[in-house]
Structure 1
């Protein structure tokens, strides 16, 4: 166990920031959670400061405090600057959770970034999500220098993901029957487990790791991903055999109103190719070299199932009625897609398609 530290988690009540706070408490740190307190309670064992970054309310309660490590998941640069002004000189290590949406291109792996918004921008719009995060990164680098650690996660999955992108698949498989699968089995998918991510961020604070790194595991073929999900459910006795998957071309899915990624009428974790090949193919080696350890897929799926099995309820995704209608249409005319190549009209949540609600 690491030496006890004074830790501040800005947020701390939702998904990733909550996981960071819980892990920090479990490691024996003195943890303060600072947030508006409107999205949940801080983890047991953590202190709480009411902080409204839009108005500055609560900053005085933190001003002058000494923190060994600060963790921030904010996406609005105008809300980061005042916190840095108040705390930067009293923080030993500052970890900003950014996003791979800072990259200007999704179709290829590229290091080109969006042009940043103004550093004092308070616009919370998701349409400028990536550009806002670029500005947030610059603020942290400018103020924290060699004490700043910036990570750019891809899709974060786990039991508290409000979009249920991972959860769609084990719940769907448990229902049985013919299952609609998107595109081709070779299509890549990539993620980072929220528990692994939180643990790594705390390890980085312990060791003083700095710099800017993508936070992502290695990509996996979608077919192998679905096989892995099924294997967990078979081992647990939830299903007897792997599901009957029907792989339907993405052009046909678009024509019939099936959406990628997350939200209504979507197939979780899938995004179209080639438009998002780069987003789902960033190298995981740099994170691994910096100490990140990705859990095997079965561990990630088991974590999700353990947290949801007692009251399984899909919060987002394709309904059974919609799925059955699309499958019926496909079986009636599987060649129809050949007449519609190049006419895809996907609705992909942009640019907040990777938002983690942390």
Structure 2
């Protein structure tokens, strides 16, 4: 039986990778602290703190058909490679389109300029892009035939970020809705599609650096799909970028934000070429299915719970009145 080691496996994407590995008939081991949750039934959890010396000892005494790493801490990635690269037939690293430098042009492929790599081992949230570049460089230096997948915006069941999920939850309520410019470009990839592909591509020995992103669409397409999944008929109130900024609305995520909206000079990160990943077999499900899965997750968690991203109902009502 082929074996897969997931460095993680108790959170969202890592857990999905482990589940798809099991469904593909693999023996799946997850090395993780276990603080984010449990591993899928059938997988083996090896509790370990990757910042501790000897963290990989329990999994470095055997060979692995594929190792999948999702970390954005360069120190974790380097230590994993030092301990395990010689024991793996294939290596898959999940990077991010955030590795691209500011000013990315729409339609860019994998040759576009990147941020300078973070030099150190530990990164804070403000270092996310450079940290991912540092991780990529470490992976390709130690394992030149690795597959590096620069993931874009992920959505679907299990998403804890509240970025995409804000919309199906919000649109479950009828009435006027504040929305950002609907024609803004957007790419959304169902996390299940990414996880399934990471497993199959890793097992097949795929290599190279590719943009693992969803098909080209607009913010309007995404929120329309969320409204359809919710079965509501909202009254859209579209605000311009300038108006939102003047009125203190934050882009993308975080408190007092309008998720999925990005200022115009950041649109390139939501419109990169997916041709290389498609050539390696990445396929995507209909957006309607992703919206429905995201809505199911939101209902499980509570539609009106406190959120990490989005506008509260009172704040939105205040903004709508001003608009």
Interval containing the TM-score (normalised by the shorter chain): over 0.9
Please report the TM-score for the alignment, with normalisation by the length of structure 2. 0.93
Q: Is the 8 A contact 1:16 1:198 kept in 2?
A: yes
In structure 2, do the counterparts of structure 1 residues 156 and 56 end up closer, same or farther at CA, with 3 Å as the change threshold? Answer: farther
Q: Is the 8 A contact 2:178 2:316 kept in 1?
A: yes
- Distance in 1, matches of 2:300 and 2:61, equals 45
Alignment partner of 2:298 out of 308, 312, 320 = 308
The root-mean-square deviation of aligned C-alpha atoms, in Å, is 1.5
Question: 1:323 maps to what in 2?
Answer: 316
Q: Is the 8 A contact 2:186 2:217 kept in 1?
A: yes
Question: 1:243 maps to what in 2?
Answer: 234
- Distance in 1, matches of 2:219 and 2:55, equals 45
| Aligned pairs, number | 316
Please report the TM-score for the alignment, with normalisation by the length of structure 1. 0.85
**C-alpha displacement at 1:105, in angstroms?**
2.0
Q: Is the 8 A contact 1:100 1:152 kept in 2?
A: yes
Q: Which moved more, 1:80-89 or 1:207-216?
A: 80-89
SS of the residue aligned with 1:189? strand
Q: Does 1:269 align with 2:263?
A: no
Question: 2:289 maps to what in 1?
Answer: 299
**C-alpha displacement at 1:211, in angstroms?**
0.5
Question: 2:164 maps to what in 1?
Answer: 166
In structure 2, do the counterparts of structure 1 residues 33 and 286 end up closer, same or farther at CA, with 3 Å as the change threshold? Answer: same
- Distance in 1, matches of 2:71 and 2:53, equals 14
- Distance in 2, matches of 1:24 and 1:17, equals 11
Q: Is the 8 A contact 1:163 1:263 kept in 2?
A: no
In structure 2, do the counterparts of structure 1 residues 56 and 192 end up closer, same or farther at CA, with 3 Å as the change threshold? Answer: farther
The structure that has the greater radius of gyration is: 1
Question: 2:275 maps to what in 1?
Answer: 285
Alignment partner of 1:58 out of 46, 55, 59 = 55
Q: Is the 8 A contact 1:8 1:67 kept in 2?
A: yes
- Distance in 2, matches of 1:161 and 1:56, equals 31
**C-alpha displacement at 1:125, in angstroms?**
1.0
Q: Is the 8 A contact 2:74 2:123 kept in 1?
A: no
- Distance in 2, matches of 1:165 and 1:125, equals 20
Question: 1:25 maps to what in 2?
Answer: 22
